[in-house]
Amino acid sequence: MTDGIILIDKPAEMTSFGVVARLRRLLSEQQGKKVKVGHTGTLDPFATGLMIIVVGKECKNAELYSKKDKVYEATIRLGQSSTTGDPEGEIIDDINAKVPPTNDEVKGVLAKFTGAITQRPPIYSAIKIDGQRAYKLAREGKMPEMPERRITIHSLELVDYTYPELKIRTHVSSGTYIRTLAEDIGRSLGTCAYCTELRRTAIGEWKIEDAQTLQEFGVLNP
């Protein structure tokens, strides 16, 4: 391939840049020249699922793909928080945890998050603050104030709930952080929470069913 897109099912414990680097190396070796490769939106290292990789001249259209709606499946653990909002951070128990919320209470809270809402992105994110990535500032001990943004949650479905874990499926606008959504859900239930598993299953009209793993695409020892 010289120009176009590649749909990749990203494995856990790999950065989005790592996916791009492996594909760039493979395509450059195949074509005997350096090939321009990029991605259209960061997927957290702990997360899995769909990434749209742009190749060659299609790189100029990366932003068009990044603005598409996304669909995610996530597992949220109630009664604990994480410094990063995911399993990679320091896990802290909620010493003030109350009686586990009922199924109806969980559904009621999820309903409140559907529609246009305001969300404050996590500090551990790729958002730039004064020209620097927020996560880099956080690692240096600096805690920048993250600006709120308007997002839209088109749908938010409870897939399963057995305390302390609940599983959701959600269709959201571009720029929505599921880690933040998980924390906000926990807070609304009178406790804390963090996202333990996250999988992106769709970006616009592109589906995870049409994606390949790195191995299937030809990347050896990814």
Residue 97 has pLDDT above 90, yes or no: no
User: In the prediction, which pLDDT does 125 show?
Assistant: 61
Q: Is the CATH number of domain 4-67+206-217 3.40.50.1820?
A: no
Residue 187 has pLDDT above 90, yes or no: yes
User: In the prediction, which pLDDT does 141 show?
Assistant: 62
Q: Residues 8, 212: contact at Cβ < 8 Å?
A: yes
Write down the residue that tokens 């088109």 correspond to: 154
Average pLDDT estimate for 133-148:
64
What Cα–Cα distance (Å) separates residue 29 from each residue in 1, 18, 22?
12, 17, 11
Residue 103 has pLDDT above 90, yes or no: yes
CA distance linking residue 110 with residue 155, whole number of Å: 9
Residue 124 has pLDDT above 80, yes or no: no
Identify the DSSP state of 212: B
CA distance linking residue 192 with residue 188, whole number of Å: 9
Query: Is 44 designated active site?
Result: yes
pTM for this model (two decimals): 0.90
Residues facing residue 54 across a β-bridge = 5, 38
Residue 38 has pLDDT above 90, yes or no: yes
Q: Residues 211, 194: contact at Cβ < 8 Å?
A: no
9, 44, 86, 184: which one is catalytic?
A: 44
In the chain, ranges of CATH 3.30.2350.10 domains: 4-67+206-217, 70-203
- For the chain, how are helix, strand and coil distributed in percent, rounded to 5? 25, 35, 35
Q: Residues 171, 165: contact at Cβ < 8 Å?
A: no
CA distance linking residue 10 with residue 200, whole number of Å: 9
Q: Is the CATH number of domain 70-203 3.30.2350.10?
A: yes
The Cβ of residue 195 has, within 10 Å, a number of other Cβ atoms equal to 28
